[in-house]
Amino acid sequence: MHRPTPAPETIADAPRRTVHFGLLDGLRGVAAIAVVLMHIGEIFLLPDWFPQAYLAVPFFFVLSGFVISYAYEDGLMRTGRLRDFARVRIERLYPLLLIGLGFGAALLVIKASFGDDRFSLPLLIGMIVAALAMIPLPGPAAFTILPPQWSLAIELWGNIAHFALRRWISVARLTLALPIFFVAMAAAAFVFGGLGTGWSLANIVGGIATFAFCYGAGILIHHLWKQNRLPRLRMSVWLIAGLLVASLVMPQALRTPANAVRDILCAGLLYPLLLVAAIQVEPGARLRAISDWFGRLSYPLYITHFPVVSFCCLALLRFDLPQWALYASVLPIAGVAIVAAWLMLTRVDEPARRWLKQSRKARYAPSAGPA
């Protein structure tokens, strides 16, 4: 019996048809590292230290729309059931999510032991259950144990909506829907002073609107690519990567109309164009190997880094260090997060998913007939 393939770990792992979009993996890894640096700067209260790296999330959404459409619309979404698709996505996302939640819960316990936070065991259990169910809760963060989980929750629910609407999706309908999604995203940007939204119930509507447009744009780009209708954009690898990095580091006063305009231009124009350009570039062997490594690292780093860097930063802040010392510690702390993510990927996540895949094959293998 044929069984659906596991969710792609990177674009390279998606079902191969004709093209390997190697550059997308590298870009996703670069964006994930920018998010790590931003969170370290936020904890240390460092001014102008990757403050706009939250735009990595709209970029992730654009890539995800393309990759999920490429990997599943002509396969599991067409021939499988919702529960099969949901299982594939859960098997891909949850092993590392469980690790991130474990790290986050341990950090809360450590902070409580120092009197920094107060919480009860039933509250902690409730937060874990809500996190596993991808249900946001009231409070400063929608997912207190693992704050970056908000984007994962929106994307997973969005994947399910994608499956439910799969027969409705077409270039014509997406072309009609995307302007509506764009207006919703732009309105949220002006209301909240930018697209750094979604991480709290107070602004989650902005995150949903951003996902709807960016993910939908990725799906549309895939359909146009499949029909050979994309315009030719000749951009070098370094120009594509440079524009992405520039969008994540360009200083701009947060929560202002100017910041809203900037974010709208990045999410609504730049990132879809970068995707179109990137899928038309074939990197050389060495750069492809580097991109593959960044792609493997990106999700583990994104979903596990926050408790790791929080622990390191809070430990250093107890020593009342001067600001120059905090700046000097940013890259070493990011290195710790990268090493931890790589170890969790290679020692836990990949073996766990191999085991799940083998178990599924064994479960559905045909039984031997009578001798």
Residue 57 has pLDDT above 90, yes or no: yes
Residue 7 has pLDDT above 50, yes or no: no
Residue 327 has pLDDT above 60, yes or no: yes
* pLDDT grade for 6, boundaries at 50, 70 and 90: very low
CB atoms within 10 A of CB 333: 25
Span 254-259, mean pLDDT? 83
What would the pLDDT profile of 261-314 be if each residue is shown by its tens digit? Answer: 999 999 999 999 999 999 999 888 899 999 999 999 999 999 999 999 999 999
Q: Tell me which of 77-81, 170-174, 239-243 is least confident.
A: 77-81
Report the pLDDT value the prediction gives residue 16, as an integer from 0 to 100: 42
Report the pLDDT value the prediction gives residue 10, as an integer from 0 to 100: 41
pLDDT > 90: percent of the chain: 78
* pLDDT grade for 239, boundaries at 50, 70 and 90: very high
Span 26-42, mean pLDDT? 96
Span 355-359, mean pLDDT? 84
Span 101-122, mean pLDDT? 87
Report the pLDDT value the prediction gives residue 114, as an integer from 0 to 100: 80
Answer with the residue of higher pLDDT: 357 or 160.
160
What would the pLDDT profile of 151-167 be if each residue is shown by its tens digit? Answer: 999 999 999 999 999 99
What would the pLDDT profile of 75-97 be if each residue is shown by its tens digit? Answer: 889 888 999 999 999 999 999 99
Contact, 289 vs 20, CB < 8 A? no
Span 344-357, mean pLDDT? 92
* pLDDT grade for 131, boundaries at 50, 70 and 90: very high
Write down the H helix ranges in the chain.
22-44, 56-72, 76-79, 82-113, 121-132, 149-164, 171-192, 204-226, 237-249, 257-265, 271-278, 285-317, 323-344, 350-364
pLDDT > 70: percent of the chain: 91
Residue 185 has pLDDT above 80, yes or no: yes
Rounded Cα gap, residues 295 and 25, in angstroms: 4
Average pLDDT of every residue of the chain: 90
Span 173-188, mean pLDDT? 98
Q: Tell me which of 34-38, 89-93, 96-100, 253-257 is least confident.
A: 253-257
User: φ and ψ at 234, to 5 degrees?
Assistant: -95, 100
Report the pLDDT value the prediction gives residue 269, as an integer from 0 to 100: 98
Report the pLDDT value the prediction gives residue 3, as an integer from 0 to 100: 35
Report the pLDDT value the prediction gives residue 366, as an integer from 0 to 100: 52
Contact, 95 vs 346, CB < 8 A? no
Q: Tell me which of 70-84, 135-149, 189-203 is least confident.
A: 70-84
* 185 contact partners, CB below 8 Å, separation of at least 6: 195, 206, 209, 210, 212, 213, 214, 264, 267, 268
Span 247-251, mean pLDDT? 87
Report the pLDDT value the prediction gives residue 19, as an integer from 0 to 100: 62
Residue spans per domain, the chain? 11-360
Residue that the structure tokens 């070098």 belong to: 236
Rounded Cα gap, residues 136 and 149, in angstroms: 9
Residue 189 has pLDDT above 60, yes or no: yes
* pLDDT grade for 364, boundaries at 50, 70 and 90: low
Report the pLDDT value the prediction gives residue 14, as an integer from 0 to 100: 42
* pLDDT grade for 120, boundaries at 50, 70 and 90: confident
